[in-house]
């Protein structure tokens, strides 16, 4: 006859569970022992002593320099000596220069005795507003408008006749527009030539062309010869 066992009283039933719990407990204690940090007692005490010595160190008291007080102001002298003026100063009397009706002017200058000289004013009148424009040689016209048109036509013919492109500027490909300003003086001659352009070579050529202009009949304003300024552009263009 076999003895019957109570399953609740069987010790080996949960042996694997108990083994796992025990293994975890041993691992926990082993990890704690490895992570625990220990310090030597002498070193800890030495650090505490050093901290206390630093805290108890006295800070030296610097000596305060006291500035001496300023000297007291000097007292004013008690005795005051009064000096009397010995020399007398003469007062200057300024007399009035105004003339009253009772006074008479000594000399009276009459208007007939004054010589009036006529001043020859050197004025410049622009070409567009001058009463009589300068007359280019060979120009004829009934009025100022016709003479202006003839003058401008003769200038264009003069440019075409004497125009010469500078060789250096041609080789370097220099081109552009040059503005030329000059005056026709009281003697009918060209003077005061000024140029402004993109290059000195072109400016020099434009001035040379204008210097070859012939002598003209000078322009007139109110019947008197005057200087007449004139300006024109000269276009230096390279042909492809």
What crossing angle do the helices spanning 200-211 and 144-162 adopt, rounded to 10°?
120
pLDDT for 5 equals 56
- Print the SS3 string covering 127-178: CCCCCECCECCCCCCCCHHHHHHHHHHHHHHHHHHHCCCCHHHHHHCCCEEE
Give tens-digit pLDDT for 162-172. 999 999 999 99
Beta-carbon-side half-sphere exposure of residue 177 (alpha carbons within 13 Å): 4
The predicted structure's pLDDT at residue 174:
92
Q: What is the pTM of this model?
A: 0.49
Residues 6+ apart with CB under 8 A from 133: 127, 144, 147, 148, 151, 219, 228
pLDDT in the model for residue 152: 93
Ranges of the chain whose pLDDT falls below 70 = 1-13, 37-67, 72-121, 240
Please say whether the beta carbons of 125 and 228 come within 8 A: yes
pLDDT score for 34: 79
* pLDDT, position 52: 44
Q: How far apart are CA 179 and CA 189, in angstroms?
A: 20
* Calpha distance 147→149 (Å, rounded): 5
* SS3 category, 89: coil
Element (H, E) at 30: helix 15-35
Options 3.90.550, 3.30.2420, 3.10.450, 1.10.1740; CATH of 144-236: 3.30.2420
Q: Please give the Cα distance from 236 to 213 (Å, whole number).
A: 19
pLDDT at 45: 43
């Amino acid at each position: 006859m076999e003895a019957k066992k109570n399953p609740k009283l069987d010790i080996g039933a949960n042996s694997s569970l108990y083994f796992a719990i025990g293994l975890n407990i041993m691992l926990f204690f082993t990890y704690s022992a490895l992570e625990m940090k220990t310090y030597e007692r002498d070193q800890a005490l030495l650090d505490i002593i050093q901290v206390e010595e630093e805290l108890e160190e006295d800070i030296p008291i610097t000596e305060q320099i006291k500035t001496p007080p300023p000297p007291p102001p000097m007292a004013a002298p008690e005795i005051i000596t009064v000096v009397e003026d010995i020399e007398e100063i003469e007062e200057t009397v300024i007399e009035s220069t105004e003339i009253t009706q009772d006074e008479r002017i000594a000399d009276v200058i009459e208007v007939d005795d004054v010589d009036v000289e006529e001043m020859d004013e050197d004025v410049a009148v622009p070409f567009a507003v001058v009463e009589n424009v300068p007359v280019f040689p060979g120009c004829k016209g009934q009025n100022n408008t016709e003479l202006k048109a003839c003058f401008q036509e003769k200038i264009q013919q003069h440019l075409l006749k004497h125009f010469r492109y500078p060789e250096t500027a041609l080789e370097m490909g220099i081109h552009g527009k040059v503005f030329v300003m000059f005056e026709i003086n009281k003697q009918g001659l060209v003077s005061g030539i000024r140029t402004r352009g993109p290059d000195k070579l072109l400016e020099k050529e434009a001035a040379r062309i204008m210097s070859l202009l012939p002598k003209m009949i000078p322009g007139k304003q109110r019947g008197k010869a005057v200087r007449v300024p004139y300006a024109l552009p000269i276009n230096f263009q390279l042909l492809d």
